[in-house]
Structure 1
Amino acid sequence: MKLTILFGGASFEHEISIVSAITLKQKLSGFELSFIFCDQDHTFYLIEPSKMKAVTFSKGEHKKMAKLSLSHGAFVQKGLFSSVEHGGVFLNLIHGADGEDGTIAALLDFFSIKYIGPRIDASVFSYDKRYTKWLCDARGIKSLKYEELSLKEHNNIKTPYPVIVKPSRLGSSIGVSIVKEEGELDYALDSAFEFDSSVIVEPFINGVKEYNLAGFSADGKFYFSIVEEPHKEEFLDFEKKYMDFSRSEQVLKAEVSKELETKLRVNFEKVYKDLFEGALIRCDFFVIEGEVYLNEINPIPGSMANYLFEDFKGSIELLSNSLPHAKRARVNYDYIHSISKAKGK
């Protein structure tokens, strides 16, 4: 199978995306892979597969490689006398801003490029934690109560301590703090506001059961990964999540009842259906007193959550053959022709 991995981007998760792409090179060995890197200045480079190493980017060696532009259905490498098109199916592996906020999705849709990844509307509802809460309310999915604080205007919180403070539009636990008493709040807010102008505050439930489930839909059927119970201390901080992006060995299946596994899958389908088609996503759930609560949606999980699937290669191939097609309006200028004809022109 031919597949082009698009990675990088201008975000706080830029380096994570590089690690994720290197991991997928290993996991998708046997595929005909190409790699396109989006630099922090939004320049696209065609990366030689043999150069897919972290130092290629940290030392700026990628800037010596071919630059690409976009055209209908493909990225284009322009030469002195001819151009080479790089088409086929692309995989959006840009984590955080650019990749998960809908920017790249809009660009790829605009140029009619086929890709695996969340579409614009799916990106909007999963990238911003406030909008994820709205999605939960609209689709009958339980989630923790929360408060929103703004950089320009915020008062004392009403949620009882301990709480967890999160930037509204950021992943990988960057800027996240657990606040156990009022004296710790200002520092936590300062840390979060370094990354976003909006912050959400939720109750922190020590020892809460957490489960991760990934999956996708292809040809109208859902395909699920195993259920994972992540190992954590108080919460999965940046360092632990960073390591997730380089994981390539399948993890052990969590010991959960069939009833709970069914509940997790039902809630996953509520999140995914009629919104995330074309993407492989991971949902992180809490289980409180037997009830399932959505914690967050990972629209482009680290290394595409390969470690949760028994047949990751097969999953990517299946998904690539069932991508949604955006409908485009057909323009025939009948209206303008009719006006011109009426005016005798």
Structure 2
Amino acid sequence: MTSTTTVVVLFGGRSSEHEISCVTAGGIMDAVDRTAYDVVPVGITKDGDFTLQPDDPSAWALDGQHLPVVPDNGTRVRFPSAAEPPELTVEHPDGSVTTVAVDIVFPILHGPFGEDGTIQGMLEIAGLPYVGDGVLASALAMDKHVAKAVLEHAGLRVAPWSTVLRREWDADRLGIAESIAIHGWPLFVKPARAGSSMGVSRVDEPSELGAAMDLAFEHDSKVIVEPRVLGREVEVAVLEGRDGVPRTSLPGEIVVAEDGFYDFAAKYLGGDEQLLCPAPLTEDETDAIRSFGARAFEAIGGSGLARVDCFLTDDGFVVNEVNTMPGFTPFSMYPRCWAATGMSYPELVAELIELGRAAIR
């Protein structure tokens, strides 16, 4: 079988999740069926330059606690307009210019300037098909406040929250702190539009709140404050159906140390957590969270993929958040859930590429 489809793997980016995007891209490059797909790696530097990178999965692998970054190698990649042929223009350091035909783009970007609908909008303007959710679903799910409001409106139980803007915090720290304290302790403070647990803190007492808010505001001008939800952390992977009906995986469970939480280090650098796939649930509980996942996916207008994170409480499931570009390294929860359901990592990558090629936006 000859290679007939050129896939641009787009990764890196300007967000604080740059390094994890690189690790994910390496996993995908390694898993792609090279008899069916040609891969063109395009890395976005932390400054925002689009560069052509070597097709070498090992260059992007997680090495102990060392995280890869996109180097500026002097190349510059330009995307077309919709009126131009579907090809990238590559400017090389020696002044030469080449072009690369594109069939589909696989944006493996987490956080702002990638997972939030901005790259999706750029690709739609360029007239290039791409993998994953569209502009609206991406932007909506990225904003935890807006997503919770939409999910609640759709009839799903969501974890309680308060939203604080930077200007509100700067104007009245004491008043905001008093209103937040109504939730009780501990609290979790998060940037509203970031992922991979960047800028997230657990706050056990009032004296810790100021530092946690300041840290979250380093990542976003809007912060979410949530009380601890007593329950098990259970997640389900959702995949767009070929017939339009969302497909859901067997659920997975995150088990962390009793006094900890699933932070960045636990997710990517190793910690006390365990990822259990499938989660030890009853048949009714498994059916319930899979239904929640499908309903949440449809509520945000999802396409391609999403991971729906829930808490299993004494009163049933509560939706915490929806991730439209979840962690996608080979050892992340999303692909592990699908592996437990019977779809391997390479099969999952191929299915997402084909769903993107068939998408009507």
Structure 2, unpaired ranges of 5+: 62-66, 170-175
For residue 255 of structure 1, give the secondary structure of its aligned residue in structure 2. coil
Is 1:49 the counterpart of 2:79 in the alignment? no
AA aligned to 1:63 is: N
Residue number in structure 2 paired with 1:340? none
Contact 1:166 1:177 in 2 (8 A): yes
CA distance, structure 1, for counterparts of residue 237 and residue 87 of structure 2: 29
Is 1:212 the counterpart of 2:235 in the alignment? yes
CA distance, structure 2, for counterparts of residue 141 and residue 94 of structure 1: 28
Q: For residues 267 and 59 of structure 1, do their structure 2 counterparts lie closer, same or farther at Cα, with a shift above 3 Å needed?
A: closer
Residue number in structure 2 paired with 1:70? 79
Contact 1:124 1:131 in 2 (8 A): no
CA distance, structure 1, for counterparts of residue 69 and residue 136 of structure 2: 36
For residue 178 of structure 1, give the secondary structure of its aligned residue in structure 2. strand
AA aligned to 2:338 is: F
Q: For residues 225 and 27 of structure 1, do their structure 2 counterparts lie closer, same or farther at Cα, with a shift above 3 Å needed?
A: farther
Residue number in structure 2 paired with 1:27? 31
Normalised TM-score (structure 2): 0.80
Deviates more, 1:280-289 or 1:218-227: 218-227
Equivalent pairs, count = 319
AA aligned to 1:123 is: S
Q: For residues 315 and 58 of structure 1, do their structure 2 counterparts lie closer, same or farther at Cα, with a shift above 3 Å needed?
A: closer
Residue number in structure 2 paired with 1:284? 309
Deviates more, 1:104-113 or 1:195-204: 195-204
AA aligned to 1:69 is: R
Residue number in structure 1 paired with 2:355? 322
Normalised TM-score (structure 1): 0.84
CA distance, structure 2, for counterparts of residue 286 and residue 95 of structure 1: 23
Q: Percent identity of the aligned residues?
A: 26
Structure with the greater alpha carbon radius of gyration: 1
Contact 2:19 2:68 in 1 (8 A): no
Contact 1:6 1:93 in 2 (8 A): yes
CA distance, structure 2, for counterparts of residue 114 and residue 39 of structure 1: 23
- Per the TM alignment, residue 277 of structure 1 is displaced from its structure 2 partner at its CA by 4.2
AA aligned to 1:70 is: F
Q: For residues 34 and 226 of structure 1, do their structure 2 counterparts lie closer, same or farther at Cα, with a shift above 3 Å needed?
A: farther
Contact 2:45 2:70 in 1 (8 A): no
- Per the TM alignment, residue 303 of structure 1 is displaced from its structure 2 partner at its CA by 1.6
Contact 1:163 1:201 in 2 (8 A): yes
CA distance, structure 2, for counterparts of residue 6 and residue 40 of structure 1: 13
Is 1:198 the counterpart of 2:211 in the alignment? no
CA distance, structure 2, for counterparts of residue 54 and residue 46 of structure 1: 14
- Per the TM alignment, residue 290 of structure 1 is displaced from its structure 2 partner at its CA by 4.0
- Per the TM alignment, residue 58 of structure 1 is displaced from its structure 2 partner at its CA by 6.0
Is 1:307 the counterpart of 2:336 in the alignment? yes
Contact 1:91 1:116 in 2 (8 A): yes
For residue 115 of structure 1, give the secondary structure of its aligned residue in structure 2. coil
For residue 303 of structure 1, give the secondary structure of its aligned residue in structure 2. coil
Residue number in structure 2 paired with 1:343? none
Two-structure CA RMSD over aligned residues (Å) = 2.6
Residue number in structure 2 paired with 1:92? 107
Structure 1, unpaired ranges of 5+: 245-249, 327-345
